[in-house]
Chain A
Amino acid sequence: MFVGPRMKRNLVTVTCGATLEEAARLLKTHRIHHLPVVGEGSRLEGIVSDTDLRNATLDGTPGGADRGDSGRPVSVGEIMTRDVVTLSPGDTLDDAMLVLSRGRIGALPVVEGERLVGIVTKADIISALLFTLDIGGMGVRIEVFLPRDVREVARLVGALADLQTEVRSIVLAPHGANAYAAFVRVATIDVGSLKGRLREAGFKVPEVAEFLE
């Protein structure tokens, strides 16, 4: 999945010259945590987070390099992160997940050249995952452990088809060195019968799903 379709496009931004108070107010009004800082022509110059703002108001916390007359930062430009990790619309969600999973970053601006076009946050990644795994949808997830042999996967899909199962999603994950765990989300209330039939067909179906959660 590419970043483009999943990123947020209507952005709340500030300029370098905005005061900290203005920035804080924007975060509060829009209930967000990150503000990309832009210059002319939506050129991305930096990013400022609620953590940056909080730190800047505490004594002795180093902000940006420049200081106002009082020795305390007054403008966004003074405290923003200039060395921003960015994505381009052609990057994938995998890229985003790998960057975000390293921690310390909550949002990734998306740029085309130098121009800011969107932002991807952790919440966007979570909703993409929910969507992929169909966790919010109606149905129930069962697990099947398979030997690590793709023909077993084919056999499972065949069995589900024979049983006229209404499959919502199937996820296949490695399970130890020699096995797969298949997560099948099905739209039937009578999972007891389905599990029974699969067991009769020789599949290893644990009693209760306990793999992912």
Chain B
Amino acid sequence: MENGTLAKGGRVDPLPEPEILEGFERLIAADRLFGAELNASVIKKSGKGAPFLVRRPPSRARMLEIWRDLFANRVLPQDLLDALAPEVLGFTHEDGLLLFGKDRVLYDCRIFRANEPVGHLTLSFYRELEPVFRFLPFPRRPGLRIVYIEGISLSAQSTGFASSLFRFYERLFHDLGFHRFRLKASLSVGKYYWAKEGFDCEDRKQFAEMRENLHALVRRLGLPVEEQEIRRLNHASRIASFRRDLAIPVYRNAEGYYSVDRDASHAEEFRFPLGKAFLLCSPPWDGYKVIYTGTPRRTGFVWSERFLGHRTRPGHVESPRRLEALLAAAREGGMGESLIFLEPYTPAMASLHAVHDPAYLDAFREAVARGDRKFVVRDCSISEGSYEAALLAAGGVMAGIDAVFSDRADNVFCAVRPPGHHAGRASAMGFCFVNNVAAGARYARSAYGVGRVYILDWDVHHGNGTQALFDEDPLTFFCSLHEHPSFCYPGTGRRMEKGAGAGLGATLNIPLPPHAGDREMIEAFEREVVPSIEAFRPELILLSAGFDAHRDDPIAELECTEDAYVHMTRRVLEMADRHCGGRVVSVLEGGYRMESLVSSAIAHIRTLQGREVPPCSSARG
């Protein structure tokens, strides 16, 4: 399962073309490289010996061009063939071929187990323009590199081979610089399982039909489900987890197929949650899944001028300049073009009342209207634009959540202020007024029916406001990494604070001693945060991303660098890919030294985009 001979994507110089050409010649001589018909439907297997409608390879120049375009000359043809054929769980690839189409390269092989043929596999490597760029008048926009599984068939089921192979491929294709890995399957059995794995209907018409069938079933059984709830469903995985509170009876026959109706053959009764029961009883459908291999993702950036309207008194460290500096850096060097800028909105008061007492918000509004210079405590310095900015910051997180659920973006960074994680149900403190992340978590639940939300807070201060709001909520996991409360504001977030009531165990506090740096932070993250995310299986991950644990930040005594933020971001994305379709919404909290705030946040955003981040420069020396 090693691919040692392959270059890591983007890190090694291209190989000289003569070497690649020589590689082609060797494979042609060994009858392992051909040309192929362009129309994918013409390419088909026809038994042993002559498996393909194959042709003579195209011209050498054309082959080199395709190779450069798809693989950036970072791999030799023979090495690619070897890397594509790992032995997994006793399965081997035989008769592996490379085929050159007009714009793509195909890999075709037969799969053997214990010297017996058990199936075949065809992969297709090609490029596609990103939808957002398609209509822009730039001739040489970088397209997405895509690997598509044209076909896989296996006579043996449930061996774990396919999923092990795909996991191996995911890594390999990432290293080769491919962005997406698409799988297609006809889902006749195990539909519920496939949906949980992220497979969706191949075309929208099919999905609309499925939704209609679900609707009919709900009507027939007279279940208490709103029509709207069904209309909001937009992915098979969301049907799979739909209304887990409603269990309905289904009947299984001897072959293991389910039906909602009991008859002579379907006799054995089971009770399953509505979504699961529906999928088990639905007709077969064609499914596909896209695996994001970790190179460019579409990252949203929430930002508004009006955040600057919250002006703190002179000398106050939480100043509008923080955002101005961050925005300037985000627009620099082509980064702005790669981000999807999203506009925040002022949220409905009802959605804020889910986290704050109406009387508290009223008092805040009145204090601002009266022209007060502070609200409750001196830390919470205010100006005439503060109320609007604070509401808009919460609305920014909601806009970010809208974007990841409507697929406008894969993940989002919300460059909002004032920060929010110290704000409680009726308390302003530590520069915070409205708890942006908490309001977002509640909104995700009410607007998109999200069950489990994981909030990771790596601001140097404990997110006491967020913790208190979700103390008794078992579905919202709150995890905070911060400087130890005996040394650092606000004096909470001790290890023994683990949640209360039904939420006991859904709070994890990891205090770090003063002067802890990247090593301690990353160790604690790997040792405790990673297992807790894996075990919780979130449907959405929210980050309270403060950057004040940086060694150059004056407000506290941790000594992290950009490297820690990059590491944690990358790992969070990996887990988000596995559990929740990559949905991560990151929300700015603290960070009070301009240089380290900007460099850390930019490194974080670049990592969200799946781009390489140069090793930390600001601090090392």
**Interface, chain A (partner B; CB < 8 A):** 135-141, 164, 166, 185, 187-193, 196, 207-209, 212-213
Choose the segment among B82-90, B285-293, B387-395, B552-560 that binds chain A (4+ C-beta atoms closer than 8 Å): B552-560
Do the beta carbons of A208 and B378 come within 8 Å of each other?
no
Q: Which of B317, B488, B489 has the most CB of A within 10 A?
A: B489
Q: List 20 A-B contacts (CB under 8 A).
A: A138-B490, A138-B492, A140-B491, A141-B487, A166-B378, A187-B429, A188-B489, A189-B490, A190-B379, A191-B488, A191-B489, A191-B555, A192-B554, A193-B317, A193-B554, A207-B514, A208-B487, A208-B515, A208-B557, A209-B486
List residues of chain B with CB within 8 A of the CB of A141. 486-487, 491
Known A187-B429, A193-B554; further 16 A-B contacts with Cβ < 8 A: A138-B464, A138-B491, A139-B489, A139-B490, A140-B490, A166-B378, A187-B377, A188-B379, A189-B379, A189-B429, A190-B317, A190-B555, A191-B488, A191-B555, A207-B557, A212-B486
List residues of chain B with CB within 8 A of the CB of A207. 514, 557
Do the beta carbons of A189 and B487 come within 8 Å of each other?
no
Complex CA–CA separation, A137 to B429 (angstroms) = 13
Interface of A is mostly: loop
Interface check B499, CB cutoff 8 A? no
List residues of chain B with CB within 8 A of the CB of A135. 491
> Chain B: which residue is nearest A195 at the CB level?
B554
Partner of B429 from the list A138, A193, A209 (CB cut-off 8 Å) is: A138
Partner of A189 from the list B315, B515, B555, B557 (CB cut-off 8 Å) is: B555
Partner of A192 from the list B315, B515, B556 (CB cut-off 8 Å) is: B556
Give the distance to chain B from A27, nearest Cβ to Cβ, in Å.
Answer: 24
List residues of chain B with CB within 8 A of the CB of A191. 488-489, 555-556
Complex CA–CA separation, A139 to B316 (angstroms) = 18
> Chain B: which residue is nearest A212 at the CB level?
B486
Complex CA–CA separation, A212 to B489 (angstroms) = 17
List residues of chain B with CB within 8 A of the CB of A139. 489-491
Complex CA–CA separation, A135 to B486 (angstroms) = 8
List residues of chain A with CB within 8 A of the CB of B377. 166, 187-188
Complex CA–CA separation, A138 to B489 (angstroms) = 8
> Chain A: which residue is nearest B486 at the CB level?
A213
B483-524 interface with A by 8 A CB criterion: 486-492, 514-515
Give the distance to chain A from B285, nearest Cβ to Cβ, in Å.
Answer: 53
Closest 8 CB pairs of A and B: A189-B430, A192-B554, A140-B489, A208-B514, A189-B489, A138-B490, A192-B555, A213-B486
Give the distance to chain A from B171, nearest Cβ to Cβ, in Å.
Answer: 42
Interface check B413, CB cutoff 8 A? no
> Chain A: which residue is nearest B419 at the CB level?
A189
Complex CA–CA separation, A187 to B377 (angstroms) = 8
List residues of chain A with CB within 8 A of the CB of B461. 189
List residues of chain A with CB within 8 A of the CB of B316. 190
Do the beta carbons of B378 and A188 come within 8 Å of each other?
yes
Complex CA–CA separation, A137 to B485 (angstroms) = 11
> Chain B: which residue is nearest A137 at the CB level?
B491
Interface check B583, CB cutoff 8 A? no
List residues of chain A with CB within 8 A of the CB of B430. 189
Complex CA–CA separation, A185 to B489 (angstroms) = 10
Interface check B431, CB cutoff 8 A? yes
Interface check B110, CB cutoff 8 A? no
Give the distance to chain A from B360, nearest Cβ to Cβ, in Å.
Answer: 16
Give the distance to chain B from A158, nearest Cβ to Cβ, in Å.
Answer: 18
Interface check B422, CB cutoff 8 A? yes
Complex CA–CA separation, A141 to B377 (angstroms) = 17
Give the distance to chain A from B400, nearest Cβ to Cβ, in Å.
Answer: 25
Complex CA–CA separation, A191 to B488 (angstroms) = 8
Do the beta carbons of A189 and B431 come within 8 Å of each other?
yes
List residues of chain B with CB within 8 A of the CB of A136. 491
